[in-house]
Structure 1
Amino acid sequence: MNGYPWAEFGAGVGAAAVAALAVMLGTFAVALVKGVHRIVDIAWGLAFTAVAVVSYAVSAGDGGDGARRLLVTVLTAVWGLRLAGHIAARGRGHGEDARYVAMLDRAPGNRNLYALRTVYLLQAALVVLVSLPVQAAQYIAGPPGPVAYAGCVVWLVGLVFEAVGDRQLARFKADPANRGRVMDQGLWSWTRHPNYFGDFCVWWGLFLIVCDEPVAAAATVVGPVVMSLLLVKGSGKRLLERHMANRPGFAEYTARTSGFFPLPPKRTKAG
């Protein structure tokens, strides 16, 4: 890829790392005051937003197309701020998340320092890695092409799945009659994880915005790949389904509902 400013991109990655680390360390300080580490989930979206904004700022004057730079920054910030706001509202008034209780119970020493190492610093590193396409897009000189605009469509599909799925689940949980039941309505009847599928689409959509420059795309494809692994094999789908495994009706739900990609519900013998 002739003329791509790799040195400037490298400096931008350094600035992005500082931004992600600042968000996570600031969140860690707040968590110590509040006595709960669940607020790190709010920082996940905020850190991606900070990285996008900082990358946009430090890349000014380095030859990147203005439309592409603004586009990728706004799309990332919209996703990150919506996610942070949703998680903040969902956790308001609740104590520590059961996942973090279980994790801290395994801490070999100081619980807070263990959380700092295994949650906050790890998430800061993952934010920088996953957001590499967002950072690389800031330095592409040409205007967005058809593939980039196709990425915007994929991003929009993802945001809709994530936002609608979160809203449907929140309304379901708000009804006392649904306590202990498995959510199997709306988008949740087509996929067991519409919010995770939405994240998947968002990050592959953002990656497509880089694909007008194939070498930059090849250098940063690790970002959406890592996000996909986190969603399917890491802290997303796998852990949630392990937690839900013993809930009444969950086995029947998994038998008729796609595990990740949206598909029409299967007909069961009982149905």
Structure 2
Amino acid sequence: MTPWQQLLLVWTLAAILQGVAWARQQRTRNAGIVDVAWALGLAGAAALVAATGAGATLPRLLLAMLGGAWGLRLGLHLWRRVRREAEDGRYAQLRLRWGDAPLTWLAMFQFQALLIAVFSLPFLSVAANPVGHWNAFFIAGIGIWIASVTGEAVADRQLARFRHDPANAGKTCRAGLWRYSRHPNYFFEWLHWFAYVLLAAHSPLWWLAWTGPLVMYVFLRWISGVPWAEQQALRSRGDDYARYQRTTPMLFPWFPKEDR
């Protein structure tokens, strides 16, 4: 298959997946399932693109393993939250604005299907890589993947442990990695996309790999990541989160400042 045929197939399957997720949301009134479908959709996209790519076997195998494992871990983590908890505050705010309007929610879910296709562009680049032997780029890519996925998993566990303690209700997590960044999970999520930039070295479509970290940074920094999360945190935790904002770096980890 050509890369553009692969992309069309990914988008089609993602639209079906998000359609199923939308139907579930119509029954449960919990839109958090859209994030689960996004992560699992990208895991499937990595495997599909790897299987149908025209590049060498080694980079395609690495893509299937690394992209699939990343998406599966994230999807299962999000599913545990969606299954056990009430609708995420960000989506609850949208529900206050939109109500249960089915077509509006369907449009939102299908936009996430489009994003699965957009974030599959780095996968196309890796799957077209003709280099079939081990090299420094592949090793460095695996190293970044291990560091970033481990960091994201640790941050997720630290936050989950904090939230599950009733004594922490209404408080802001400052434990572990959350002491050095207000969004360490987002930071490592962004960092993870550089693994595919390295795996795509020498690919004729190498430039497509850069869409991963670039688009992810834009969404996390200005659109659906940090802005939504911080607005909800200020609504639910007020002054405590405002103090956290004054002392703790937003995204890139660094030592906290004193509150003045």
Alignment TM-score, normalising by the size of structure 2 = 0.91
Q: 1:267 & 1:99 partners in 2: Cα distance?
A: 29
CA-CA distance at 1:84 after TM superposition: 1.0
Structure 2 portions without partners, runs of 5+ = none
1:46 aligns to 2:35 (yes or no): no
Q: 2:23 & 2:84 partners in 1: Cα distance?
A: 19
Matching residue's letter, 2:51: A
Matching residue's letter, 2:182: R
Who is 2:50 aligned against?
56
Who is 2:168 aligned against?
178
1:114 aligns to 2:104 (yes or no): yes
Q: Deviations over 1:113-171 (max 9, x none)?
A: 10111x21111111111121112211211135322321222222211121000100111
Who is 1:98 aligned against?
89
CA distance change for structure 1 residues 243 and 105 in 2, over 3 Å: closer, same or farther?
A: closer
Name the structure where helix makes up a greater proportion of residues: 2
Who is 1:78 aligned against?
69
Q: After superposition, where does 1:161-172 map in structure 2 within 5 Å?
A: 161-172=151-162
1:249 aligns to 2:240 (yes or no): yes
Q: 1:73 & 1:33 partners in 2: Cα distance?
A: 33
Who is 1:128 aligned against?
117
- Where has structure 1 moved over 4 Å in runs of 4 or more? none
Contact 1:152 1:205 (8 Å CA) reproduced: yes
Identity %: 32
Contact 1:130 1:224 (8 Å CA) reproduced: no
CA-CA distance at 1:202 after TM superposition: 0.9
Who is 2:3 aligned against?
9
CA-CA distance at 1:34 after TM superposition: 2.9
Q: 1:165 & 1:27 partners in 2: Cα distance?
A: 26
Q: 2:89 & 2:102 partners in 1: Cα distance?
A: 16
Q: 1:210 & 1:72 partners in 2: Cα distance?
A: 10
Q: 2:123 & 2:257 partners in 1: Cα distance?
A: 38
1:156 aligns to 2:156 (yes or no): no
Q: Deviations over 1:157-201 (max 9, x none)?
A: 211121000100111111111111111110000111111011101
Q: Deviations over 1:33-89 (max 9, x none)?
A: 334322112111111011112112222xx3x11111010111111111111111111
CA distance change for structure 1 residues 223 and 76 in 2, over 3 Å: closer, same or farther?
A: same
Which moves more between the two structures, 120-129 or 147-156?
147-156
Matching residue's letter, 2:79: A
Contact 2:63 2:126 (8 Å CA) reproduced: yes
Contact 2:30 2:87 (8 Å CA) reproduced: yes
CA distance change for structure 1 residues 137 and 18 in 2, over 3 Å: closer, same or farther?
A: same
Q: 2:163 & 2:85 partners in 1: Cα distance?
A: 14
Who is 1:3 aligned against?
none
1:24 aligns to 2:18 (yes or no): yes
Q: 1:97 & 1:256 partners in 2: Cα distance?
A: 25
Q: 2:172 & 2:57 partners in 1: Cα distance?
A: 46
Q: After superposition, where does 1:191-206 map in structure 2 within 5 Å?
A: 191-206=181-196
Which moves more between the two structures, 169-178 or 150-159?
150-159
Q: 1:110 & 1:171 partners in 2: Cα distance?
A: 32
SS at structure 1 position matched to 2:43: helix
CA distance change for structure 1 residues 95 and 170 in 2, over 3 Å: closer, same or farther?
A: closer
